[in-house]
A and B are shown apart, each in its own frame.
Chain A
């Protein structure tokens, strides 16, 4: 039997692809279909979610399109269309490469189906091509969603004709292929030399650094309002033709679009063909390389544990003595089958739950150690801090103190503070409990009440944020040269906003928890993230407006100002109270249903 060759024929390429694509389709759509069958409300909520997301994208696209049309509008601007599009295609290629890295990393290292499929008698090339295709679809959807409204919006505003539209769509479809191929090749090399955990950390840190550079660069380039921004962008775009990167193939898609915009069909087709050849070349090279190196084990890092002392060979396990009786807490010293019947309950097990002080100490230590040892988390935390720091730098560089303190400067500082509180709370709060993941049963089984867990988790998130907020609020007050009472009001307002915001977002994460994650970047459920962001944004705007009224109108309308000041604390206290009530119930329900 062992000498007989397998009689089943190898699966054909078409058959394999049909199976794999069918599986992807079922994984993508079946859960949603089932949910909507069980509950019509779930399906409706899903659609509402997508509509809100679409509305946000369309809004952003309209804003960006308007700005770009300002730049390239008119006879002067029209000459800048080519440098703008080549710059955009190069920048998009770099951004897609950076975006593709964590996606490819997740596909290669987290619990994906790749290892399982590589063991089947299917060609590794087919498997990797299919995996490449599925990641490409995600990137292409993202590119089309962002790119079509902006680029076609420009085309329509400048009457560029259908040729431009057609080339633009083809360019957008081609754009993610080469960066994805490059990311796959780079990661294969990286994973050979670095353990997946380190590689993930490295990409997270690098992603943060590039993201921050991008943010600060954009802010500096768009410095100034209205006409100033347009002038800055025009200045930048005008320098593009002489830039070093103009010779890179990343500009070809932009050249194709520019040529189509100017009606040069031949040039457009040439650049488009060049872009397509390059993209296909990268894709084929990446797939062939990945297939060869993965199947031979070259691209798999062999994780080696820490050096261990030689094992005690030959020592029978039975000879080892179980540690003697530990110094037991009073509750467990008493033996006897029925503690309730013997009346020991009141004396030795009184209270049942651990005192809050001990819960606080142990959970704080656990979360602090976990956070300190998680460079990915630390890197993500840097975002809001840099954003608020840069916001203050810009505010101070404009000199908004004194007379302008009650005007644009004050609103600018308040908005910066609100964005900081929103970003930090939005990142920290939903992860406070979700970070426990499948380990949550450990807390559920510990003699700790759900209310205490909620309070400790809330404090763990809110206290550091409120502390940092206080520091930034003082800096903001100094920048604005605010009176002491106004500074204290601002301090209280943003401090209470931070506490309320963390409570609200923590509660949302308890209502819509996500504990079955493998990839730490997916610790927050879509509902919690969406409702948290929208609700947080509304709350921030409300508090900002009330604070501006309370400080700005203190002389002209003192009663209104007083009511606005009181309103801030009524709103934040109300949110805290609701969070405590709803969060308490949700935490109890969550801890009681972990099994």
Chain B
């Protein structure tokens, strides 16, 4: 593993630079000596099995959780020391978008614009974002009546209204219909192409394979691999991200078991 990691080329300038992050909850170590970098114009996919420490890592990167040790810098600013400066540069969408239920979608996006000091009038950019995410028809309904996917898209509007330099998205496609998921993938790619950095936390390997420039795989709080898909493939040029992921996280055994269970009773597992 060391050799694989050692071979990976790090981007020259990291907009997000997390170094030797450690987070302990009592005796339990959730994140252990994790070093990550996301450069401008880059989408980094953060992958890992359930409970690997992905959300804890993101929470430390955005300043919602103080690391036990290590540091996170965004655009050169320390997330803990320069918290107020950093907050203006980042946008975060959690896996479960808890928004203000009594506000309408339009109210919410407007509020986020105000809270991030966007110049008035905000009506036009708010409308443009709502239209882009196909939310204009529901814009004046209270968020309480929105579906999960609509809430997810509204949260994204609330983040994009202040045009953050770094986007941190935790399972952003969960609950989205195929059309919205496609729109989101295209949006993430487009934002990266415009120079924003994106840290994308996902379980859906197909999405990571499609839009991430590099992926970082963590397991039990440790970074076990990082690099572009080609770098991770190494000599095995035909392997998919799923193969790599399962090989690194020990999921091969589970896959074999699943094949056996799926096989007809008394029969043999198929290759």
Residues of A within 8 A of B (CB): 1, 197, 303, 305-306, 308-309, 311-312, 316-318, 320-323, 325-329, 331-332, 335, 337-341, 345, 349, 351-354, 358-359, 361-362, 365-366, 369-371, 373-374, 437-439, 441-449, 592-595
Most buried by B among A332, A337, A370: A337
Tell whether A309 pairs with B137 under 8 Å between CB atoms, given A332-B163, A446-B115. yes
In the complex, chain B residues 228-255 whose Cβ is within 8 Å of any chain A Cβ: none
Q: Are B162 and A332 touching (Cβ within 8 A)?
A: yes
Interface CB pairs A-B, < 8 A, 24: A305-B145, A318-B182, A321-B132, A323-B128, A326-B161, A326-B162, A327-B118, A327-B119, A328-B163, A329-B116, A337-B75, A338-B75, A340-B75, A352-B87, A361-B114, A370-B102, A370-B103, A374-B102, A439-B99, A441-B94, A445-B63, A446-B115, A447-B117, A592-B63
Q: Are B84 and A449 touching (Cβ within 8 A)?
A: yes
Tell whether A358 pairs with B114 under 8 Å between CB atoms, given A305-B145, A308-B137. yes
Q: Are B132 and A323 touching (Cβ within 8 A)?
A: yes
Q: In the assembled complex, how far is the CB of residue B69 from the closest CB belonging to chain A, in whole angstroms? A: 17
Q: In the assembled complex, how far is the CB of residue B30 from the closest CB belonging to chain A, in whole angstroms? A: 11
| Set of chain B residues within 8 Å of A358, measured between Cβ atoms | 114-115, 117
Q: Is B224 an interface residue (CB 8 A)?
A: no
Tell whether A438 pairs with B88 under 8 Å between CB atoms, given A326-B161, A340-B76, A352-B82. no
Contact of B163 among A309, A325, A340, A447 (CB under 8 A): A325
Tell whether A354 pairs with B66 under 8 Å between CB atoms, given A322-B191, A332-B163, A438-B98. no
Q: Are A308 and B138 touching (Cβ within 8 A)?
A: yes
In the complex, chain B residues 132-190 whose Cβ is within 8 Å of any chain A Cβ: 132, 134, 137-138, 141-142, 144-145, 147, 158, 160-165, 179, 182-183, 186-187, 190
Q: Are B118 and A437 touching (Cβ within 8 A)?
A: no
| Set of chain A residues within 8 Å of B96, measured between Cβ atoms | 438
Q: Are A337 and B40 touching (Cβ within 8 A)?
A: yes
Q: In the assembled complex, how far is the CB of residue A227 from the closest CB belonging to chain B, in whole angstroms? A: 51
Chain B residue nearest to A338 in the complex (CB):
B76
| Set of chain A residues within 8 Å of B162, measured between Cβ atoms | 326, 328-329, 332
| Set of chain B residues within 8 Å of A449, measured between Cβ atoms | 84
| Set of chain A residues within 8 Å of B90, measured between Cβ atoms | 445
Chain B residue nearest to A336 in the complex (CB):
B75
| Set of chain A residues within 8 Å of B87, measured between Cβ atoms | 352, 445-447
A338 to B39, CA, bound (A): 11
In the complex, chain B residues 110-125 whose Cβ is within 8 Å of any chain A Cβ: 111-112, 114-119, 125
Q: In the assembled complex, how far is the CB of residue A510 from the closest CB belonging to chain B, in whole angstroms? A: 17
Q: Is B195 an interface residue (CB 8 A)?
A: yes
A339 to B118, CA, bound (A): 20
Q: In the assembled complex, how far is the CB of residue A593 from the closest CB belonging to chain B, in whole angstroms? A: 7
Q: Are B137 and A306 touching (Cβ within 8 A)?
A: yes
Q: Are B163 and A369 touching (Cβ within 8 A)?
A: no
A589 to B214, CA, bound (A): 35
Chain A residue nearest to B145 in the complex (CB):
A305
Q: Are B64 and A362 touching (Cβ within 8 A)?
A: no
Tell whether A439 pairs with B100 under 8 Å between CB atoms, given A362-B111, A592-B63. yes
Contact of B64 among A1, A337, A447, A594 (CB under 8 A): A594
Chain A residue nearest to B147 in the complex (CB):
A305
Chain A residue nearest to B184 in the complex (CB):
A317
Interface string of B15-36 (1 = CB under 8 A from A): 1000000000000000000000
| Set of chain B residues within 8 Å of A335, measured between Cβ atoms | 40, 165, 195
Q: Are B64 and A369 touching (Cβ within 8 A)?
A: no
| Set of chain A residues within 8 Å of B89, measured between Cβ atoms | 331-332
Q: Are A448 and B115 touching (Cβ within 8 A)?
A: yes
Q: In the assembled complex, how far is the CB of residue A491 from the closest CB belonging to chain B, in whole angstroms? A: 34
Chain B residue nearest to A337 in the complex (CB):
B13
Q: Are B115 and A311 touching (Cβ within 8 A)?
A: no
- The interface size bin for chain B is 35 or more
Tell whether A326 pairs with B118 under 8 Å between CB atoms, given A352-B88, A366-B111, A369-B107. yes
Q: In the assembled complex, how far is the CB of residue A392 from the closest CB belonging to chain B, in whole angstroms? A: 32
Q: In the assembled complex, how far is the CB of residue A358 from the closest CB belonging to chain B, in whole angstroms? A: 6
Tell whether A592 pairs with B88 under 8 Å between CB atoms, given A323-B128, A323-B132, A448-B115. no
A130 to B77, CA, bound (A): 56
Contact of A447 among B116, B132, B158 (CB under 8 A): B116
Q: Are B114 and A595 touching (Cβ within 8 A)?
A: no
| Set of chain B residues within 8 Å of A306, measured between Cβ atoms | 137-138, 141, 145
Chain B residue nearest to A374 in the complex (CB):
B102
| Set of chain B residues within 8 Å of A197, measured between Cβ atoms | 144
Q: Is B14 an interface residue (CB 8 A)?
A: yes
Chain A residue nearest to B96 in the complex (CB):
A438
A410 to B139, CA, bound (A): 53
Q: In the assembled complex, how far is the CB of residue B229 from the closest CB belonging to chain A, in whole angstroms? A: 21
A352 to B88, CA, bound (A): 8
| Set of chain B residues within 8 Å of A365, measured between Cβ atoms | 111, 114
Q: Are B102 and A373 touching (Cβ within 8 A)?
A: yes
| Set of chain B residues within 8 Å of A308, measured between Cβ atoms | 137-138
| Set of chain B residues within 8 Å of A326, measured between Cβ atoms | 118, 125, 161-163
| Set of chain A residues within 8 Å of B88, measured between Cβ atoms | 329, 331-332, 349, 352, 447
Most buried by A among B55, B158, B162, B194: B162
Q: Which are the 8 A-B pairs with shortest beta-carbon distances?
A: A595-B64, A352-B84, A595-B59, A340-B76, A362-B114, A338-B76, A438-B98, A317-B183
A359 to B116, CA, bound (A): 9
A349 to B117, CA, bound (A): 12
Most buried by A among B63, B77, B111, B115: B115
Q: Is B7 an interface residue (CB 8 A)?
A: no
| Set of chain B residues within 8 Å of A322, measured between Cβ atoms | 132, 187, 190-191, 194
Chain A residue nearest to B56 in the complex (CB):
A595
Chain A residue nearest to B265 in the complex (CB):
A1
| Set of chain B residues within 8 Å of A371, measured between Cβ atoms | 102
Q: In the assembled complex, how far is the CB of residue A463 from the closest CB belonging to chain B, in whole angstroms? A: 20
Tell whether A331 pairs with B179 under 8 Å between CB atoms, given A311-B134, A326-B125. no
A43 to B177, CA, bound (A): 48
Q: Are A437 and B66 touching (Cβ within 8 A)?
A: no
